[in-house]
Copies of this chain bind each other. A is one copy, B any other.
Amino acid sequence: MPYRAPVTDFQFLFDHVVGLKQIASTERFADATEDVVQAILAEAAKLSEEVLAPLQRAGDLHPARLENGVVRTSPGFAEGYQAVAEGGWVSIAASPEHGGMGLPMTVTSAVNEMMGSACLSLQVSPLMTQGQIEALEHHASDEIKAIYLPKLVSGAWSGTMNLTEAHAGSDVGSLRSKAEPNGDGTYAIKGQKIFISWGDNDFTENVCHLVLARLPDAGPGTKGISLFLVPKFIPDAQGAPGKANDLKVVSLEHKLGLHGSPTAVMQYDGATGWLVGEEHDGMRAMFTMMNNARLGVSLQGIAAAEGAMQHAIGYATDRAQGRSLAPNPTGTIFDHADVRRMLTTMKAEIFAARAISLSLAAAIDMETATGADEWRARAAFLTPIAKAFGTETGIAMCNIGVQVHGGMGYVEETGAAQYLRDVRVTAIYEGTNGIQAMDLTGRKLADGGEAAYAILDEIEERAEAARHSLPELAEPVWQATESLREATEWMVAQTDMNARFAGALPFLRAFGRVLGGHFHLTAAMATEGKGPRASLAQFYIAQLLPETHGLLAQATAGADTLYALSQEDFAA
Contact = CB atoms under 8 A, between A and B. Distances in A.
Contacts of A372: none
Contact of A498 (B4, B317, B326, B410): B326
Interface residues of A, number: 96
A292 to B, nearest CB: 20
Contacts of A407: 164, 169, 194-195, 428-429
B428 A340 contact: no
The A interface is mostly helix, strand or loop, or mixed, namely: helix
Interface stretch (A31-39, A85-93, A329-337): A329-337
Contact of A434 (B167, B336, B411, B505): B336
A406 interface: yes
B563 A539 contact: no
Contacts of A321: 167-171, 174
Contacts of A564: 532, 535-536, 538-539
Interface string A492-523: 00000110011011000000000000000000
Nearest to A395: B399
A567 B532 contact: no
Contact of A565 (B327, B535, B567): B535
Contact of A317 (B322, B337, B429, B567): B567
Contacts of A167: 320-321
A253 interface: yes
Interface in A381-433: 395, 399, 402-403, 406-407, 409-413, 417, 420-421, 424-425, 427-429, 432-433
Contact of A347 (B341, B403, B553, B570): B570
A538 B402 CA distance: 34
Interface in A6-33: 8
A330 B563 contact: no
Nearest to A418: B256
Nearest to A327: B563
Interface in A175-203: 194-195
A237 interface: no
Interface in A528-547: 532, 535-536, 538-539, 542-544, 546-547
Given A498-B325, A501-B325, A501-B337, A402 B424 contact: yes
Nearest to A434: B338
Nearest to A258: B410
Contacts of A424: 399, 402, 410, 417, 420
Among A340, A412, A538, A544, max chain B CB count under 10 A is at A340
Given A169-B406, A317-B567, A550 B553 contact: no
Contact of A549 (B256, B313, B323, B550): B550
Interface stretch (A73-81, A363-371, A461-469, A554-562): A554-562
Contacts of A161: none
Contacts of A562: 337, 340-341, 344, 539
A361 interface: no
A271 interface: no
Contacts of A257: 410
A402 B270 CA distance: 35
A351 B473 CA distance: 38
A559 B410 contact: no
A224 to B, nearest CB: 16
A411 B253 contact: yes
Contacts of A550: 544, 546-550
A497 B338 CA distance: 12
A553 B479 CA distance: 15
Among A341, A344, A497, A498, max chain B CB count under 10 A is at A341
Contacts of A320: 167
B427 A561 contact: no
B412 A255 contact: yes
Given A338-B504, A543-B553, A347 B409 contact: no
A437 interface: yes
A138 interface: no
A226 B244 CA distance: 72
A97 interface: no
A562 B538 CA distance: 10
Given A313-B570, A407-B429, A539-B561, 20 more contacts: A167-B320, A194-B407, A195-B407, A256-B417, A325-B497, A325-B501, A327-B563, A330-B567, A337-B502, A342-B434, A343-B570, A344-B562, A406-B428, A535-B561, A535-B564, A535-B565, A543-B553, A543-B557, A546-B549, A550-B550
**Closest 5 pairs between A and B when the two form their complex, measured CB to CB:** A535-B564, A338-B434, A547-B550, A546-B553, A532-B569
23 contacts: A171-B323, A256-B420, A257-B410, A313-B571, A317-B567, A325-B497, A326-B498, A328-B566, A338-B434, A338-B504, A339-B434, A340-B502, A340-B563, A341-B502, A399-B399, A402-B428, A403-B432, A403-B433, A535-B561, A538-B561, A539-B561, A546-B553, A548-B550
